[in-house]
Structures are given as C-alpha cells and as structure tokens.
Amino acid sequence: MNPLAERFPGLSTLPFVPLVDAPTEVHELSRLSAMTGVSCWVKREDKASPRYGGNKVRKLEWLMGDAREKHADVLVTTGAIGSNHVLATAIHGIKAGFGVHALLSPQPMTRHVEENLRADLAVGATLMPIRASVLAPLAMRHHAATLERKGFRPYVIPHGGSSPIGILGYVNAGLELAAQIERGEVPEPDVIVVALGSGGTASGLAIGLAAAGIPTPIHAVRATPAVVANKIALGQEIRRTVRLLRDREPAFPEVTTAALSRITIETSLYGDGYGTPHPEAARAKELAAADGIQTDPTYTARSFAYLVRLAEERRFRRPLYLATLSSADLGHLLRAAPMPARWATSPRSWLRRR
Ligand SMILES: Cc1ncc(COP(=O)(O)O)c(C=O)c1O
C-alpha cells in the first residue's frame, strides 16, 4: 500500500508499480547545521531505489502502472542529453520489460551529462536527437505514431515525467513526509527546498502536504527556463492533478489554491541558464558532500546552494532539503557502456543531423 491509497481508499484502484524503498529516510544534516547554527534536515529521495533513485522514480511508479494498464510496450520520453529523468525511465522501464525510446535535446557537456548518456546506452535505451526541447511534444507524438504503424503500443511520458499521473508520485511523497512529521521522525520544517525542473516534484509535494494539513512553504529553485517552469504552469499541473484525484476519490480535499500559494519560485541561482555551472555550485557541492549528499551541476548544486544561503542568513529555523539526485552507483553500467554517438557529443554534427 502507498500513503495515497491508505489515506484515500478510492485511489487504491489507480495502477501502481512499486519501485521506491519507502519511506525514504529523514535526518539532520549535521555538518551544515553545526556550521550555520540552523537545524537543517534532509529527506533522502536520492536513496529511493538502489538501482537508480532520485525524484523521478516516484513518478515512474504511477506512470509505469498506467502504461501497463494500457498494455503499452514502449515508453517514449524526452529530456536533455544528460537528463536524469531519461536515465531513470531507461533503468526502471527496461527492467520492467518496456522498450525505452528517448528524444534528446542539447545541453552543455559535463562529466555528469556524459555519464548519464552512456548509462542510457548501457541499459539499452534507444536515443534520438532533437534540435531543441520546445520541439519535444511534437517529436514525441510523431515518434509514437511511427511506432504504432510498426505494431508497437507506445506510452508517451512528458518532459520530467510531470503529467498529472506522474505528479501523483510527489503527492504520495508529501503524504509520506506528513506521516514522518506526525510520527516525530522529523520536526515540522518551516521551509522545504527543492530543485525546480518541470515542476512536478514541487507541485505534487505541495498537494500532498496541503491535503495532510501541513502548512510548510516550498521554495523551488529554478534550474530550467521560465517558459518551462513558472507559476502559471505549476498552477495548471496542480489543478489537473487535483482534478484527477477528486474525480477518482471525491473525499480528496480541494487544495488547488492552498497548494499553489505555498510555492515560491527562487530564481537567483539560475545564472547563465540551463545546465551551466553556477559560481556558488562548487562550494555547495563540497558542503553537500561533507554531509554525504551528492549533487549535480544542473539541479541539485543550485538547490543545495540555496539551502546553504538560507541557513547562513538564518531566514528559517528548520529548513528541510529534498535530495532529488540519485546516489545509486552507476559504476557497473559505465564500465560496460558504449561510447555515445557523435551527434550527442559534438554540437556541430548534431545540427547537421536533422
Ligand atoms: C536531480 C533532479 N532534481 C530535481 C529535478 C526537478 O524535478 P521536476 O522536474 O519535478 O521539477 C530534476 C528534474 O529533472 C532532477 O533531475
């Protein structure tokens, strides 16, 4: 049973594939707390699965459940070349018997990006280039139609897994955190810090906490451009997810306004844009590592840097950080990984490709 189905029995018929070692651990970040004098906590979403953890696994529990119910055999998704979402879908989707096809858009090459790309190939994902992320929705529809003509049954997962079905993963996590607070495993935080990509993590968490009556505000630290994640888009995600929940279970509370109003988008760490290194990231990476938390340059070095700032400025007394990057060791995959195609590593050949 998952917390959503436990609290709202009408939702127990929603298809679900268990992937997460739940509940994920909560503990104090002892080094950062000692350094700043502020009691900083973490929820270890990074350990959601030993195969590959992080925030995307929670969304895949519901997305893969829906795909199975619809008798799909190929998951079609998208992301930048180093996308953690694409890698999570490849690892868990292929293990569950789906084919995984991903349409990838360019991003600045870093070691993390290259490793994710090679791990995608090592598990057997089919990768295809697109010129820009804005083309992804159309390109996915086109690719799915081609697969259908060949006799496959594709299931399309949007950028970041943030459809209303995927967002249920973080409604569930919000309810899980509320239960941990109720059991006294973590003090009620006075702010939650999370990286903002497609927005599903912040939106779902806000819905889950609002449904459980926990008033904590959420500061979502921008890692993607404003056209991708903004208050209007978050509002739509929340509205559509709450509608899905209430259509299935009328006892689920109408929390659309309460959920949206608790999210603040923090833009000050976006810097030069998606995937670019931020000047505060190097220090954040070291401080996170001292507390045993791994970060990536695109998302979590930014969100951890913001946590450090909040603690140093003493703006909150009990911040809680959501560690959303998988900490699973990919060494075994990378040792056997083929080299990425030239279109992926060389921007010039990428542009020539289509
Ligand atoms: C490590 C990490 N943290 C946070 C996020 C943001 O999550 P969301 O897309 O749900 O906003 C992502 C998105 O790809 C991610 O890879």
SS3 135: helix
pLDDT at 336 exceeding the cut of 90:
no
Q: Which pLDDT band holds residue 112 (cuts at 50, 70, 90)? A: very high
CA distance 354 to 351: 6
- Convert the pLDDT of each residue in 7-39 to its tens digit: 999 999 999 999 999 999 999 999 999 999 999
Give 345 or 120, the one with higher predicted confidence.
Answer: 120
Q: Residue 338: its pLDDT value, please?
A: 85
Q: Are 59 and 200 in contact (CB under 8 A)?
A: yes
Q: Residue 354: its pLDDT value, please?
A: 47
pLDDT at 40 exceeding the cut of 80:
yes
Average pLDDT of the segment spanning 49-76:
98
Q: Which atom of ligand 1 is nearest to the CA of 162?
A: 10
Contacts of residue 182, Cβ cutoff 8 Å, sequence gap at least 6: none
Q: Which pLDDT band holds residue 345 (cuts at 50, 70, 90)? A: confident
- Report CA(202)–ligand 1 centroid distance (Å): 9
CA distance 255 to 249: 14
- Report CA(80)–ligand 1 centroid distance (Å): 12
DSSP string for residues in 193-257: EEEESSSHHHHHHHHHHHHHT----EEEEE-S-TTTS-HHHHHHHHHHHHHHHHHH-TTS---HH
Q: Which pLDDT band holds residue 43 (cuts at 50, 70, 90)? A: very high
Nearest CA to ligand 1 atom 4: 195
**DSSP symbol at 10:** G
Write down the mean pLDDT value for the chain: 95
Q: Which pLDDT band holds residue 352 (cuts at 50, 70, 90)? A: low
Q: Residue 62: its pLDDT value, please?
A: 98
Lowest mean pLDDT among 103-112, 187-196, 240-249: 103-112
- Report CA(236)–ligand 1 centroid distance (Å): 18
Enumerate residues lining ligand 1, CB below 6 A.
Answer: 54-55, 84-85, 160, 162, 195-202, 296, 299-300, 324-325
SS3 46: helix
- Report CA(233)–ligand 1 centroid distance (Å): 15
- Convert the pLDDT of each residue in 269-306 to its tens digit: 999 999 898 999 899 999 999 999 999 999 999 999 99
Q: Are 319 and 193 in contact (CB under 8 A)?
A: yes
Q: Which pLDDT band holds residue 346 (cuts at 50, 70, 90)? A: confident
Q: Which atom of ligand 1 is nearest to the CA of 199?
A: 11
CA distance 197 to 222: 7
Q: Residue 225: its pLDDT value, please?
A: 94
Q: Residue 277: its pLDDT value, please?
A: 87
Average pLDDT of the segment spanning 83-104:
98
Beta strand 191-196 with 218-222 is parallel
Q: Are 114 and 156 in contact (CB under 8 A)?
A: no
Q: Which atom of ligand 1 is nearest to the CA of 197?
A: 11
**Cis ω before 23 (30° cut-off from 0):** yes
What percentage of the chain exceeds 70 in pLDDT?
97
Give the chain's domains with CATH numbers.
3-55+162-322 (3.40.50.1100), 59-160 (3.40.50.1100)
CA distances from residue 224 to 164, 184, 266 in whole angstroms, order as listed: 19, 35, 11
CA distance 73 to 158: 17
Q: Residue 341: its pLDDT value, please?
A: 79
